[in-house]
Amino acid sequence: MGLADLHMHTIYSYDGTATVRAVLKRARQVGLDVIAITDHDEIRGALLAEQIAPQYGLEVIPGIEISTAEGDLLALNVHKLIPAGLSLIETLLRIGEQGGYAIAPHPMASGMGMKSLNFYSIRTAARHPEAGKILLGIETYNATAIDRESRMFAEVLAVRTGIARTASSDAHALEAIGLGATEFPGNTAADFERALREGTTLPRHQPAWSFAHVATNWVWNYLLSVPARLVPAMQS
Protein backbone atom coordinates (compact mmCIF):
# COMPACT_ATOMS: atom_id res chain seq x y z
CA MET A 1 0.00 0.00 0.00
CA GLY A 2 1.15 3.51 -0.81
CA LEU A 3 0.72 6.60 1.34
CA ALA A 4 -0.16 10.05 -0.01
CA ASP A 5 -0.58 13.50 1.52
CA LEU A 6 -2.34 15.59 -1.12
CA HIS A 7 -2.76 18.94 0.63
CA MET A 8 0.23 20.97 1.82
CA HIS A 9 1.70 24.43 1.42
CA THR A 10 5.12 26.03 0.87
CA ILE A 11 6.32 29.62 1.16
CA TYR A 12 4.87 30.20 -2.31
CA SER A 13 1.58 30.39 -0.37
CA TYR A 14 0.95 33.57 1.59
CA ASP A 15 0.50 31.41 4.71
CA GLY A 16 3.04 28.63 4.09
CA THR A 17 6.24 28.48 6.12
CA ALA A 18 8.54 25.90 4.50
CA THR A 19 10.69 25.86 1.38
CA VAL A 20 9.97 23.33 -1.36
CA ARG A 21 13.10 21.32 -0.61
CA ALA A 22 12.32 21.23 3.10
CA VAL A 23 8.83 19.92 2.34
CA LEU A 24 10.17 17.17 0.09
CA LYS A 25 12.76 16.13 2.66
CA ARG A 26 10.19 15.99 5.45
CA ALA A 27 7.69 14.09 3.30
CA ARG A 28 10.23 11.37 2.64
CA GLN A 29 11.25 11.22 6.31
CA VAL A 30 7.68 10.48 7.41
CA GLY A 31 7.26 7.71 4.85
CA LEU A 32 5.10 9.28 2.16
CA ASP A 33 5.24 7.92 -1.39
CA VAL A 34 3.21 10.60 -3.17
CA ILE A 35 2.51 14.21 -2.24
CA ALA A 36 0.82 17.22 -3.79
CA ILE A 37 1.93 20.80 -3.29
CA THR A 38 -1.26 22.87 -3.27
CA ASP A 39 -0.37 26.50 -2.62
CA HIS A 40 -3.16 29.07 -2.57
CA ASP A 41 -3.88 30.23 -6.15
CA GLU A 42 -0.22 29.62 -6.98
CA ILE A 43 1.55 26.86 -8.91
CA ARG A 44 5.25 27.79 -9.05
CA GLY A 45 6.19 25.85 -5.93
CA ALA A 46 4.33 22.77 -7.15
CA LEU A 47 6.10 22.81 -10.52
CA LEU A 48 9.48 23.17 -8.84
CA ALA A 49 8.66 20.31 -6.48
CA GLU A 50 7.65 18.06 -9.37
CA GLN A 51 10.95 18.81 -11.10
CA ILE A 52 13.25 18.02 -8.17
CA ALA A 53 11.19 15.30 -6.43
CA PRO A 54 13.26 12.39 -7.87
CA GLN A 55 16.20 13.64 -5.78
CA TYR A 56 14.13 12.80 -2.69
CA GLY A 57 12.76 9.44 -3.79
CA LEU A 58 9.09 10.38 -3.98
CA GLU A 59 6.57 11.54 -6.55
CA VAL A 60 4.91 14.95 -6.64
CA ILE A 61 1.52 15.69 -8.14
CA PRO A 62 1.50 19.39 -9.08
CA GLY A 63 -1.55 21.14 -7.70
CA ILE A 64 -3.26 24.34 -6.60
CA GLU A 65 -5.69 25.18 -3.83
CA ILE A 66 -8.05 27.31 -5.91
CA SER A 67 -10.31 29.94 -4.37
CA THR A 68 -13.49 29.29 -6.33
CA ALA A 69 -16.54 31.52 -5.96
CA GLU A 70 -18.06 28.81 -3.74
CA GLY A 71 -15.06 27.77 -1.66
CA ASP A 72 -11.62 26.17 -1.87
CA LEU A 73 -10.88 23.31 -4.25
CA LEU A 74 -7.75 21.17 -4.68
CA ALA A 75 -6.78 20.91 -8.35
CA LEU A 76 -4.35 18.04 -8.93
CA ASN A 77 -2.22 16.99 -11.89
CA VAL A 78 -2.37 20.44 -13.45
CA HIS A 79 0.51 22.46 -14.87
CA LYS A 80 -1.07 25.83 -15.60
CA LEU A 81 -2.64 28.28 -13.17
CA ILE A 82 -6.44 28.33 -13.10
CA PRO A 83 -8.05 31.67 -12.24
CA ALA A 84 -9.62 32.19 -8.84
CA GLY A 85 -13.19 33.36 -8.46
CA LEU A 86 -14.86 31.09 -11.01
CA SER A 87 -17.84 28.91 -10.13
CA LEU A 88 -17.10 25.41 -8.85
CA ILE A 89 -18.42 23.82 -12.04
CA GLU A 90 -16.38 26.10 -14.31
CA THR A 91 -13.26 25.50 -12.22
CA LEU A 92 -13.71 21.73 -12.42
CA LEU A 93 -14.15 21.89 -16.18
CA ARG A 94 -10.94 23.90 -16.53
CA ILE A 95 -9.10 21.34 -14.41
CA GLY A 96 -10.44 18.64 -16.71
CA GLU A 97 -9.16 20.49 -19.77
CA GLN A 98 -5.63 20.00 -18.40
CA GLY A 99 -6.23 16.31 -17.74
CA GLY A 100 -6.39 16.92 -14.02
CA TYR A 101 -8.78 15.99 -11.24
CA ALA A 102 -9.98 17.53 -8.00
CA ILE A 103 -10.58 16.92 -4.30
CA ALA A 104 -12.90 18.97 -2.08
CA PRO A 105 -10.77 20.03 0.91
CA HIS A 106 -12.14 20.53 4.45
CA PRO A 107 -15.76 20.59 3.17
CA MET A 108 -18.21 22.62 5.27
CA ALA A 109 -15.43 23.55 7.73
CA SER A 110 -15.21 27.05 9.18
CA GLY A 111 -12.84 28.98 11.40
CA MET A 112 -9.45 30.67 10.94
CA GLY A 113 -10.54 32.21 7.64
CA MET A 114 -11.30 28.88 5.95
CA LYS A 115 -13.33 29.10 2.74
CA SER A 116 -14.98 25.72 2.35
CA LEU A 117 -17.38 24.28 -0.18
CA ASN A 118 -20.84 23.57 1.21
CA PHE A 119 -22.93 20.42 0.92
CA TYR A 120 -25.10 21.78 -1.89
CA SER A 121 -22.18 22.91 -4.07
CA ILE A 122 -20.39 19.56 -3.81
CA ARG A 123 -23.53 17.53 -4.41
CA THR A 124 -24.42 19.65 -7.44
CA ALA A 125 -20.92 19.23 -8.89
CA ALA A 126 -20.96 15.48 -8.25
CA ARG A 127 -24.19 15.18 -10.25
CA HIS A 128 -22.95 17.29 -13.17
CA PRO A 129 -22.36 15.09 -16.26
CA GLU A 130 -18.86 16.47 -16.91
CA ALA A 131 -17.71 18.10 -13.67
CA GLY A 132 -18.69 14.97 -11.74
CA LYS A 133 -16.00 13.03 -13.63
CA ILE A 134 -13.34 15.44 -12.36
CA LEU A 135 -14.33 15.76 -8.69
CA LEU A 136 -12.89 12.46 -7.49
CA GLY A 137 -12.31 12.95 -3.78
CA ILE A 138 -13.67 14.46 -0.57
CA GLU A 139 -11.26 15.25 2.25
CA THR A 140 -13.01 13.59 5.18
CA TYR A 141 -10.08 14.25 7.50
CA ASN A 142 -8.00 17.43 7.58
CA ALA A 143 -5.32 17.26 10.26
CA THR A 144 -5.05 20.97 10.96
CA ALA A 145 -8.65 22.14 10.48
CA ILE A 146 -10.05 23.54 13.72
CA ASP A 147 -13.67 22.70 12.88
CA ARG A 148 -13.75 19.03 13.97
CA GLU A 149 -17.53 18.68 13.63
CA SER A 150 -17.28 19.18 9.87
CA ARG A 151 -15.46 15.85 9.54
CA MET A 152 -18.65 13.98 10.42
CA PHE A 153 -20.57 15.88 7.75
CA ALA A 154 -17.80 15.21 5.23
CA GLU A 155 -18.13 11.46 5.87
CA VAL A 156 -21.88 11.66 5.30
CA LEU A 157 -21.34 13.66 2.11
CA ALA A 158 -18.85 11.12 0.77
CA VAL A 159 -21.33 8.30 1.35
CA ARG A 160 -24.22 10.17 -0.29
CA THR A 161 -22.25 11.20 -3.36
CA GLY A 162 -20.19 8.03 -3.73
CA ILE A 163 -17.00 10.09 -3.99
CA ALA A 164 -13.76 8.61 -2.64
CA ARG A 165 -12.60 9.61 0.87
CA THR A 166 -9.19 11.11 1.51
CA ALA A 167 -7.21 12.43 4.47
CA SER A 168 -4.54 15.12 4.29
CA SER A 169 -2.44 17.25 6.59
CA ASP A 170 -3.17 20.68 5.08
CA ALA A 171 0.32 21.34 6.40
CA HIS A 172 1.45 24.94 6.61
CA ALA A 173 4.53 23.91 8.60
CA LEU A 174 6.91 20.96 8.30
CA GLU A 175 5.88 19.24 11.53
CA ALA A 176 2.32 18.76 10.27
CA ILE A 177 3.22 16.90 7.08
CA GLY A 178 1.76 13.39 7.15
CA LEU A 179 -0.53 13.95 10.15
CA GLY A 180 -3.34 13.14 7.74
CA ALA A 181 -2.68 10.87 4.76
CA THR A 182 -4.41 8.50 2.36
CA GLU A 183 -3.58 4.84 1.84
CA PHE A 184 -4.04 3.41 -1.65
CA PRO A 185 -3.14 0.23 -3.57
CA GLY A 186 0.22 0.73 -5.30
CA ASN A 187 2.75 3.48 -4.70
CA THR A 188 2.68 5.92 -7.65
CA ALA A 189 0.65 8.98 -8.56
CA ALA A 190 -1.07 6.99 -11.31
CA ASP A 191 -2.01 4.34 -8.75
CA PHE A 192 -3.44 7.02 -6.48
CA GLU A 193 -5.64 8.48 -9.21
CA ARG A 194 -6.85 4.99 -10.11
CA ALA A 195 -7.71 4.32 -6.46
CA LEU A 196 -9.75 7.54 -6.32
CA ARG A 197 -11.71 6.53 -9.40
CA GLU A 198 -12.30 3.05 -8.00
CA GLY A 199 -13.11 4.26 -4.49
CA THR A 200 -10.36 2.19 -2.85
CA THR A 201 -8.61 4.97 -0.91
CA LEU A 202 -8.46 4.75 2.87
CA PRO A 203 -8.07 7.82 5.13
CA ARG A 204 -5.41 7.48 7.81
CA HIS A 205 -4.48 9.95 10.50
CA GLN A 206 -2.55 10.57 13.67
CA PRO A 207 -4.00 12.34 16.74
CA ALA A 208 -5.30 15.79 15.86
CA TRP A 209 -3.53 18.89 17.09
CA SER A 210 -5.31 21.30 19.42
CA PHE A 211 -6.15 24.83 18.29
CA ALA A 212 -3.33 26.18 20.47
CA HIS A 213 -0.84 23.75 18.93
CA VAL A 214 -1.88 24.63 15.38
CA ALA A 215 -1.75 28.37 16.03
CA THR A 216 1.54 28.53 17.95
CA ASN A 217 3.29 26.15 15.56
CA TRP A 218 2.26 28.25 12.57
CA VAL A 219 3.21 31.59 14.13
CA TRP A 220 6.66 30.35 15.15
CA ASN A 221 7.41 28.79 11.77
CA TYR A 222 6.06 31.80 9.90
CA LEU A 223 8.50 34.06 11.73
CA LEU A 224 11.36 31.68 10.94
CA SER A 225 10.40 31.69 7.24
CA VAL A 226 10.79 35.45 6.79
CA PRO A 227 14.40 35.29 5.44
CA ALA A 228 13.41 32.75 2.77
CA ARG A 229 10.58 35.02 1.66
CA LEU A 230 12.92 38.02 1.37
CA VAL A 231 15.68 36.23 -0.56
CA PRO A 232 14.32 34.67 -3.79
CA ALA A 233 17.32 32.34 -4.15
CA MET A 234 16.36 30.63 -0.90
CA GLN A 235 12.81 29.88 -1.98
CA SER A 236 13.63 26.51 -3.48
Q: What is the CATH number of the domain that holds 194?
A: 3.20.20.140
Does residue 37 lie within any of the structural domains?
Answer: yes
CA-based Rg of the chain, rounded to a whole angstrom?
Answer: 16
Lowest-pLDDT range of 8-17, 64-73, 126-135, 209-218: 209-218
**Number of independent structural domains in the chain:** 1
In-domain check, residue 162: yes
Q: Residue 25 burial (CB < 10 Å; 0-12/13-18/19+)?
A: middle
Taking only the tens place, the pLDDT of each residue in 84-114 is 999 999 999 999 999 999 999 999 887 666 7
The H or E element that residue 216 is part of is helix 211-224
Q: What is the pLDDT of residue 235?
A: 57
Report the chain's mean pLDDT, rounded to a whole number.
91
Beta pairing class for 202-205 and 34-37: unpaired
pTM of the complete model: 0.92
On the question of pLDDT at 210 being above 90, the answer is: no
Give SS3 for 194: helix
Task: Give the separation between CA 23 and CA 94, rounded to whole angstroms.
Answer: 28
Q: Identify whether 131 is part of a domain.
A: yes
**How would residue 211 be classed by pLDDT, with cut points 50, 70 and 90?**
confident
Q: Are 128 and 166 within 8 A, CB to CB?
A: no
- How many CB atoms sit inside 10 A of residue 51's CB? 13
| Contact indicator for 201, 183 with CB cutoff of 8 Å | yes
Does 215 fall in a domain? yes
What domain range includes position 73? 2-220+227-231
Nearest to 107 by CA among 76, 144, 78, 147: 147
pLDDT recorded at residue 207: 78
128 falls within a domain: yes
37 forms beta bridges with 8, 62
Which residues share a beta bridge with 137? 103, 164
First to last CA, the chain: 30
Indicate the angle between helix axes 149-161 and 119-127, nearest 10 degrees: 20
How far, rounded to the nearest angstrom, does the alpha carbon of residue 3 sit from its chain's CA centroid?
14
**Residue 137 is assigned to a structural domain of this protein:** yes
How many C-beta atoms lie closer than 10 Å to residue 31's C-beta? 10
- Whether 140 is in a domain gets the answer yes
Position 233 pLDDT exceeds 60: no
In a domain, 236, yes or no: no
